[in-house]
Amino acid sequence: MNGLLLAVTTWVHLLSTVVWIGGIYFILYVALPSAKQAIEQPGKIMGPISKRYVPMANASIILIIASGIVMSLASHNYADLAKLSSLWEQPLLVKVLIVLLMASIHFYRGLILTPRITRLTSEGSHAEQTAKLQSFSLRLVKVNFILGIVVLFVTSILYAHKA
């Protein structure tokens, strides 16, 4: 693969990772605590923040997966990948599986859990169930953040192995 194309693909991969994992960090440790401190109903602030962030996260996930495939195909021979015999293939498989789990969690929250919470909130009579689902959703965001940190660590292993 052309060196410039590989550099651009790597840049897109890294930028998309920063947007996704950085966005989760910002929401968990900046926006949500600030919203809870500033007003009684943090959802009034977090709803609009989420509406702006989620499309960026969705695009980032797609770009991470697409650019990761391109970078991997350009960098290594995949004839022996199924054997998982090298120190490069094993962490790569772990990284791919974790990213797929993270994407599944993200899309589950966005396509199933959030609409359910919204519906229950609009009905108004399910406060306890809504609170449980909101708490579960927040725990999933925290799980994704931890998984994202693990992916970054595994990526550092891959880069160290390349060097």
65 Cβ contact list (under 8 Å, min separation 6): 99, 103
- The count of domains in the chain is 1
DSSP one-letter string for the chain: --HHHHHHHHHHHHHHHHHHHHHHHHIIIIIHHHHHHH-S-THHHHHHHHHHHHHHHHHHHHHHHHHHHHHHHHHS--TTGGGT-STTHHHHHHHHHHHHHHHHHHHHIIIIIHHHHHHHHHH-S-HHHHHHHHHHHHHHHHHHHHHHHHHHHHHHHHHHHH-
What is residue 37's predicted lDDT score, i.e. its pLDDT? 85
Instruction: Extract the tokens encoding 36.
Output: 């809870």
Closest to 67 (Cα-Cα) out of 15, 144, 22, 25? 15
Our measurement of the distance from residue 138's CA atom to the centroid of its chain's CA atoms, rounded to an integer in Å, reads: 14
What is residue 59's predicted lDDT score, i.e. its pLDDT? 97
* Residue 55 structural domain: 3-162
What is residue 42's predicted lDDT score, i.e. its pLDDT? 72
Q: What is the pLDDT along the chain (163 residues), one digit of tens a residue?
A: 588 888 999 999 999 999 999 999 999 999 999 988 888 777 778 889 999 999 999 999 999 999 998 888 877 655 555 566 666 778 888 999 999 999 999 999 999 999 999 899 888 878 899 999 999 999 999 999 999 999 999 989 888 877 6
Calpha distance 22→108 (Å, rounded): 20
What is residue 44's predicted lDDT score, i.e. its pLDDT? 79
What is residue 43's predicted lDDT score, i.e. its pLDDT? 74
Calpha distance 7→23 (Å, rounded): 24
What is residue 46's predicted lDDT score, i.e. its pLDDT? 85
96 Cβ contact list (under 8 Å, min separation 6): 68
